[in-house]
Each structure stands twice: as C-alpha cells, then as structure tokens.
Amino acid sequence: MIRLMAPASARNLHEAKIACTMHAHETLFVILEGEGEVLVGKIWGKVKKGDVAFVPRWIFHQTKNTSATDGMAVLAITDFGFTSAVLGDYDARTRLATKGPDAVDQ
C-alpha cells in the first residue's frame, strides 16, 4: 500500500495527538518520495527517499512527514494476510484507533 502524506502530517493521529499504532504483522516502510521520521518503539529515526524502516510485530510505530512544503510517499509492505490467516480478525481487537478490547496503550 502506498501512503501519500501531506506536508507536516502524521499517520494514525489519535485524540491525545499521539500518532502510533501497534499490530501483530511486521511492516517495512519504503520511503518513495520526501523525508520525515519513523517511530519504532520509542526511537525516532530520520528517513528520506530510498530509506527502508522495519517494524517488528507488536511494536508501536508512526510515520511523520516533517517537511512544511513537500509531500511524502511511503510504501508499506506487510505480512497482514498471513498473520490474519493464523490469528483471525486480530486487527479490530488490537487497534488503539478503534478502541479494540485487546488494545494496549503505551
């Protein structure tokens, strides 16, 4: 899935202005355009076009476009299909954004 991010935006923004999510599938973020930051656990890393960030299972993460003027394109590659086949509909139970019964806040 390719995410196009507007300047100065973040993915999965929650009520408390903490933009993070956690799930059972692993994710690779490939930065196709622009620059920004990726949160993996409690560590922020700067990213730019051509960089790749790996997010292990059950680790809080966020992508953020830090440019005030340019967009950022992020390709997210996951093993969601495989994980769902093994665990069922875990996503609805564990997402903070949907207040799933098994969601864990950091």
CA contacts within 13 A on the Cβ side of 7: 4
CA contacts within 13 A on the Cβ side of 34: 24
Indicate left, alpha or beta for 58 from its phi (over 0: left) and psi (-120 to 50: alpha).
left
Q: What is the pLDDT of residue 13?
A: 38
CA contacts within 13 A on the Cβ side of 54: 2
Q: CB burial class (10 A; 0-12, 13-18, 19+) of residue 51?
A: middle
User: What integer best gives the mean pLDDT of the chain?
Assistant: 77
Matching residue, tokens 């997402």: 95
Q: How confident is the model at residue 17 (pLDDT cuts 50, 70, 90)?
A: very low
Q: What is the pLDDT of residues 22-51, one digit of tens each?
A: 666 788 999 999 999 998 888 999 999 999
Model pTM? 0.71
Q: Is the pLDDT of residue 65 over 90?
A: yes
Q: What is the pLDDT of residues 67-101, one digit of tens each?
A: 999 999 999 888 876 666 666 666 565 555 555 45
Q: How far apart are CA 67 and CA 36, in angstroms?
A: 7
Complete domains list, the chain, with CATH: 2-94 (2.60.120.10)
